[in-house]
Amino acid sequence: MRILLPPSETKRPGGTGAPLRLDRLALPSLAVARTEVLDALVALSADPVAARKVLKLSDRQAGDVEHNRMLRDAPTMAAVDRYTGVLFDALDAASLDGRARQWLGRHVLINSAPLGPIGALDEIPRYRLAAGTALPGIPPLRRHWASVTSAALGEGGFVLDLRSESYVALGPIPDSTPSAYVRVVTPSRRALNHFNKKAKGVLVRALAQARPTVRSAGALLHWAAEAGVALRETSDAGVLELVVEG
C-alpha cells in the first residue's frame, strides 16, 4: 500500500540534513519535472518583488522568497517532520518509534508542489509554493505535474488517497491502479474541514503503529474494523468514508 498525503502551507524551520538531492527522492522518474520546477522557482526568487506577486505573498511572508532562492543550498529535514499544521500535528511523526517511522518511509508519499510526491522520510528544504501557482517559464503546475505523476503512481500497487482536491489534480491516480479516496464525514455524512485533516493524520499514525499488510480496499476495511477505525464503503466507486464526530 502507498498512502498519498497533501503537504502543508506551514513548515518547520531549520534542518540538519545536507542540501537537497533529487536523486535520493522517491519516484525517481520525476527527476526532470522536479528540476524544471526548481529552476523556475529559484529564478523567480532572484526578483523579490516579482516573486511576491506570483506567489501571492503578504508582507509577513516576504521571507519565504529567500527560502525559495536558497532551495538548492539550504539544510533539509525529513518531509514528514518539515510539514506542520493540523494533519501533521495529528500524525506527530517525531514521537513514533523507529519501526513506525520506517513504515512511513516505505508507504507514505507527500504530494508537494515543487517536487511532486516525495517519500515521508525524503529530506527537503523549506519552501513556499502552492498547487495553483503558475511559475514563469513552465506550464501551470497542474499541467506540468499531472501526466508524469500519474505515470509514476501507476507503477505500484494499491493507493490510499488522502489528498485534497487541488493536489489530486497535480497527479490523478490512473484508472488501472487499484485505489481508494478517503472522504471524512460525520455519522450523518456531513463533510468536515478542520476535523478532516486531523482525522487523516490520526489514521496514518494508527497505520504506522499497526503496520498491517494492505493490498486492497477490502483488506484496509478489514484492518479498520479490527482496529476500531470507523472506515466504511460508499455507493461511489473508489471512495471510502472515515467517520468522525464533528
By the 8 A CB rule, do 106 and 78 touch?
Answer: no
Q: DSSP for 9-34?
A: S-B-----BPSP-GGGSS-GGGHHHH
CB count within 10 Å of CB 193 equals: 9
pLDDT of residue 193: 67
Average pLDDT rounded to a whole number, residues 24-44: 98
Assign 181 to helix, strand or coil.
strand
Q: How far apart are CA 19 and CA 73, in angstroms?
A: 5
Which pTM was predicted? 0.95
> Do residues 33 and 57 make contact, with C-beta atoms less than 8 angstroms apart?
no
| Burial class, 93, CB count within 10 angstroms (exposed 0-12 / middle 13-18 / buried 19+) | buried
What is the pLDDT at residue 39? 98
Tens-digit pLDDT profile for residues 139-183: 999 999 999 999 999 988 999 999 988 899 999 999 999 999 999
Residue 53, burial from CB neighbour count under 10 angstroms (0-12, 13-18, 19+):
exposed
d(CA 163, CA 192): 14
Number of domains in the chain: 1
Question: Is 125:238 a contact under the CB 8 Å cutoff?
Answer: no
Does the pLDDT at position 33 exceed 80?
A: yes
Average pLDDT score, the chain: 95
| Residue range 202-230: mean pLDDT, rounded | 97
Rounded mean pLDDT, 214-236: 96
What is the reported pLDDT for 238? 93
Helix (H) or strand (E) holding 221: helix 217-227
**Domain around 103:** 2-243
Taking residues 2-15, report their average pLDDT. Answer: 96
**Under 8 Å between Cβ of 117 and 167:** no
Q: At what angle do helices 194-210 and 217-227 cross, to 10 degrees?
A: 90
HEC string of 128-141 equals CCCCCCCCCCCCCH
